[in-house]
Amino acid sequence: MATLIRPTRSLLQRHGTTAAISPALIFLPSIFLPLLFVLPHNSLAAPTELSQRDMEILKHLSVMKKHFTAFGVTQLWHALILFSAGLISMSGSVALGQTAGSNAPLRIICFGAHPDDCEIQAGGVAAMWAARGHKVKLVSVTNGDIGHWRDAGGPLANRRRAEVEAAAKVLGVTSEVLDIHDGELLPTLENRKLIVRLIREWKADIVMGPRPNDYHPDHRYTGVLVQDAAYMVTVPFFCPDVPHLAKNPVFLYFPDSFKKPNPFTPDIVVAIDDVIEKKLDALDKLVSQFHEGGANGGPALMPADPAGQAERAKQVREYFRNRQKNLTTRFKSAISDWYGEERAGRIEYIEAFEVCEYGRRPDRAELKRLFPFFDAAP
């Protein structure tokens, strides 16, 4: 309290309002602190209308005005009005996602267990969003430091970080690798808070991640952590050090081939024919995993001569090209549903996603707004 009183007294003296310093100080903490807690700071865009929290602020200010007037500190009251008006203008009503205005860029954050998962699962739509001016971040929840047959530890973690950063430049997105050891990820409270903070800091409209049933424990627990972040990103006093989101994002799962306890069901499929070469170029940057085979590879996979290396790179590219084609075959009916029979027949490559019921549940119209690519489809 002493630390709060000293600068306040000095401020009042500078404004010539020393007559009522002591009584005014009694309610200064109760005046400023509630303002800080009721304000949503997740958008800097100007609001189109006053939100409920903004109305609460104005109501609080009207009560405070009586106290300021009673003690003759009207100059400080005027300063507080200006301060509060500025904060209200920063609160921002949400039109679509976390940002105001339907023309505001979408903000997408994808979580993969290792430095290659997001690029494989969502590299196509990531490139398409980025090309349209939307903001995309690919996060690897572990650093991949045991994901190689020869290398490990810090040198491998650094190498894999550099690889995904190179891939991100190709796709036009942002990349981040968290400093958690590969193979050691657990769904702890600490890690849940970490994921919640990342989603909030990115002000995400869309959050993507794996389903929590997979052969690799890091994949499973990444799925659990992302699921557990849904809804909690909107709770003000969970991780109160980072402003909460006003709106629960749409959470989406990457596809997988596991059948139990329930198979992947595509709620949306997106044609990526226009960016397939860009996606393959990005995957080509992940040499340690694909050219060299990652944890289950070996020296035979990567020839020493340039001609052999070029042939290996070609094999990797064709593998991923065929992998995308297999998704198209697998989800043929869903493609027809989204694009119609005629257009579906011309689509070679797709990416598919399933809505997580723990996030916001978008209808078809909202999915088309969040994936604004359908008019440009083949």
At residue 127, the pLDDT reads 98
How confident is the prediction for the chain on average, in pLDDT?
82
Whether 102 maps to a domain, the answer reads: no
Is 99 a domain residue?
no
Residue 327 lies in a domain: yes
- Say whether both 49 and 193 belong to one domain: no
Asked if residue 248 has pLDDT above 70, the reply is yes
Strand, helix or coil at 85? helix
Region 197-213 average pLDDT: 98
CB 283 within 8 A of CB 119: yes
Residues 331 and 222 in one domain: yes
Map residue 209 onto helix, strand or coil. strand
Residue that terminates a domain, selected from 57, 91, 125: 91
* Residue 57 to residue 52: CA distance in whole angstroms: 9
Given this model, what pLDDT does residue 97 score? 52
Q: 222 and 122: one domain? A: yes
Distance CA 323, CA 328 (A): 9
Average pLDDT for 232-251? 98
Give yes or no: residues 284 and 361 share one domain: yes
| Whether residue 179 has pLDDT greater than 70 | yes
**Per-residue confidence (pLDDT) for residue 103, from 0 to 100:** 83
Q: Is 197 part of any domain?
A: yes
Pick from 25-29, 52-56, 284-288, 302-306 the range whose average pLDDT is largest.
284-288
Q: What is the CATH number of the domain that holds 246?
A: 3.40.50.10320
Confidence of residue 140 (pLDDT cuts 50, 70, 90): very high
pLDDT(112) > 80: yes
Percent of the chain surpassing pLDDT 90: 71
Answer whether residue 193 is part of any domain. Answer: yes
The answer on 199 and 289 residing in a single domain is yes
Residue 250 lies in a domain: yes
% the chain with pLDDT above 70: 72
For 223, phi then psi, to 5°, come to -60, -45
Residues 6+ apart with CB under 8 A from 365: none
Whether 100 is covered by a domain: the verdict is no
Helix ranges restricted to H, 15-73: 21-38, 52-70
**Rounded average pLDDT over 38-54:** 40
* Chain segment 264-309, per-residue pLDDT in tens: 999 999 999 999 999 999 999 999 999 999 999 999 998 999 999 9
pTM (predicted TM-score): 0.76
**Is 226:111 a contact under the CB 8 Å cutoff?**
yes
Residues 23 and 55 in one domain: yes
* CA 125/CA 349 separation, integer angstroms: 11
Structure-model confidence comparison of residues 31 and 136, the more confident one:
136
Q: How many domains does the chain have?
A: 2
Q: Read off the pLDDT of each residue in 40-60 and give the average, rounded to a whole number.
A: 41
Two structure tokens written together for 1: 């309290």
Question: Does 210 score more than 90 pLDDT?
Answer: yes
Do 266 and 141 lie in one domain? The reply is yes
Question: Which of 48-62, 241-255, 314-328 has the least mean pLDDT?
Answer: 48-62
* Residue 214, helix vs strand vs coil: coil
174, 310: one domain = yes
Query: Residue 45's domain spans which residues?
Result: 2-91
Domain boundary among 62, 91, 120: 91
Q: Do 157 and 225 lie in a common domain?
A: yes
Note whether 142 and 245 are same-domain residues.
yes
Q: Same domain, yes or no, for 85 and 112?
A: no
- Could you tell me if 206 and 350 lie in one domain? yes
Name the nearest CA neighbour of 90 among 32, 34, 53, 39: 39
Question: Would 305 be classed as within a structural domain?
Answer: yes
Of the three residues 33, 65, 91, the one that is the final residue of a domain is 91
Q: Is the pLDDT of residue 218 over 80?
A: yes
